[in-house]
Amino acid sequence: MLKPSSCNTVVTESEKENASRLTDAQVHQGDSMPFSLSGKIEIFYQVHGQGAPLLLISGLGGGSWSWFGQVPFFRNHYRTITFDNRGAGRSSKPPGPYTMVELARDAAGILDHLGIPSAFVMGLSMGGMLAQELALLAPERVRALVLGCTHCGGSEKIAPDPDVIARFAANTGLSQAQIIDKNLPFLFSETFLEEHPDRVAAYRKVQLNAPLQPEHAFQAQLQAIQTFSACDRLPGLRIPTLVVTGTEDALVPAENARILERLIPGARRLEFQGAGHALHVECRDRLNEAAHAFFSEHAS
């Protein structure tokens, strides 16, 4: 395991302005919207910067806007690709249930559409499950893999408190703002919420500007998570992998990262002490730097 790290990110005024501009560009529709087709499903994507391709895969209910803290960093080093999973954002929202294999094929379809043979891949939460499935389905498409705040499903996963999941998933009848506020304690550590109200407010603004996910699509993605199972297949994976977790993750307990480290040959594990589930916000700089350093090791 790599040396444990805490998260000490400072948000400057210029960074707030950049994040705001990026968010507006991601959320507001323009004249030309880039989509790839996965069968009859339209998948919205965006490309930022130049360099080796990097595919960022968001979690449950998230989308391209989720990476407002990553795109400004990674676009200086990579051809950075973000997208909205089926059921979220501007992508198609067909009736469920969805499967993780379907979601992984959607992601592979973006690479096909862009003519990219292989890419670095980082997935968080449900996006980490999708990234595992992508790596297992098409290992030649993944140069190196960062899995954050995620698990391998099946009987080996360590589940959170059932009450946490019940409250997190209870969105029926709630407004976008109510859903966001309800979920803050599940996504961030208590310390982060108390000590960084400016960063919580920035996250909240991004989420409020994002397209509202219909209940049927949320449940369909949730079913993909519930039926996902990759633990028994991971020992056959031969892709450089970094597993990242927060020790105070209420949704995906940190023990799941230890399981992934054990099952994936040669995997490394990095723990952010005291951090919650939403590492891309709470540990933005440390996550960005760790992922970039890891991908740089495997650039050849």
Which pLDDT value is given to residue 1? 57
In-domain check, residue 19: no
Q: What is the pLDDT of residues 14-73, one digit of tens each?
A: 444 444 444 443 433 333 469 999 999 999 999 999 999 999 999 999 999 999 999 999
Q: Is 144's pLDDT higher than 50?
A: yes
We report the CATH number of the domain holding residue 49 as 3.40.50.1820
Q: Are 229 and 154 in contact (CB under 8 A)?
A: yes
Q: Are 215 and 137 in contact (CB under 8 A)?
A: no
Q: Is 176's pLDDT higher than 80?
A: yes
Cα–Cα distance measured from residue 138 to residue 132, given in angstroms and rounded to the nearest whole number = 10
Q: Is 183's pLDDT higher than 70?
A: yes
With H, G, I as helix, E, B as strand and everything else as coil, classify residue 21. Answer: helix
Residue range(s) defining the domain that contains residue 273? 33-297
What is the count of structural domains for the chain?
1
For tokens 């803050």, what's the residue? 184
In-domain check, residue 3: no
Reading the block at residue 249, the tokens are 């993750």
Q: How far is CA 122 from CA 24, 33, 50, 277, in A?
A: 23, 24, 17, 15
**Burial class for 1, CB neighbours closer than 10 Å (0-12, 13-18, 19+):** exposed
In-domain check, residue 23: no
Write out the DSSP string of 144-207. EEEEES---BGGGS----HHHHHHHH--TT--HHHHHHHHHHHHS-HHHHHH-HHHHHHHHHHH
Strand order in the sheet with 78-83: 35-38, 41-48, 78-83, 52-57, 119-124, 142-148, 241-246, 268-272
In-domain check, residue 22: no
In-domain check, residue 194: yes
**Burial class for 193, CB neighbours closer than 10 Å (0-12, 13-18, 19+):** middle
Phi, psi of 96 (to 5 degrees): -90, -170
- Using alpha carbons, select from 173, 130, 145, 114 the residue that is nearest to residue 266: 145
Cα–Cα distance measured from residue 156 to residue 251, given in angstroms and rounded to the nearest whole number = 16
Q: What is the pLDDT of residues 70-114, one digit of tens each?
A: 999 999 999 999 999 999 999 999 999 999 999 999 999 999 999
In-domain check, residue 95: yes
- Using alpha carbons, select from 232, 242, 248 the residue that is nearest to residue 193: 248
Q: How far is CA 35 from CA 71, 73, 107, in A?
A: 19, 24, 12
* Average pLDDT score over the chain: 91
With H, G, I as helix, E, B as strand and everything else as coil, classify residue 247. Answer: coil
Cβ count within 10 A of residue 187: 24
Give the bridge partners for 145, in sequence order.
121, 241
In-domain check, residue 7: no
* pLDDT grade for 7, boundaries at 50, 70 and 90: confident
Cα–Cα distance measured from residue 198 to residue 137, given in angstroms and rounded to the nearest whole number = 41
Q: What is the pLDDT of residues 272-297, one digit of tens each?
A: 999 999 999 999 999 999 999 999 99
- Using alpha carbons, select from 264, 62, 6, 74 the residue that is nearest to residue 179: 62
In-domain check, residue 158: yes
